[in-house]
Structure 1
Amino acid sequence: MQILYFAWLRQRTGVAEETVSPPPEVTTIGALIAWLAQRGPGHAAAFADPAQVRAALDQEMCGPDTPLGAAREVAFFPPVTGG
């Protein structure tokens, strides 16, 4: 699956995108975040506070309990505010 990082998540991970193959037990967005956080210090910093991370699964906003299913793309970004 393709993982996209935006804003400070990109800065902390050091990559804008990457292709990953999570293990079978990673079945939700929340589990994916926990798994990605273990990939190294940059990823750990990016996902240190999962409540500050928003996700989109195949370009649809989703929450941590959303099943990954056959997702092709997951994007992570900080909360967005308007003004």
Structure 2
Amino acid sequence: MPKYFFHVRRNDVFEEDPEGIDLASPELACEEATAAAREIVAERIRTGDPANGGAFEIMTEDGALVATVPFRSAIHLD
């Protein structure tokens, strides 16, 4: 099963995910990133921090970029 790394980019800061997670497909990696982004944004709202900004850069073990998931895309404001 492939391993995906969920690195976080906030403005000029890049935080590497050193562990990664084994998932069956890139689609599941995007779903996992979206769920995690929702949790991050919810925590920011609870603590009164700005909820905008930041994104997951999902990469494979060999460093290939699979997708970028902006945190704000995890929130639906319909």
| TM-score, with length taken from structure 2 | 0.36
Structure number, greater radius of gyration: 2
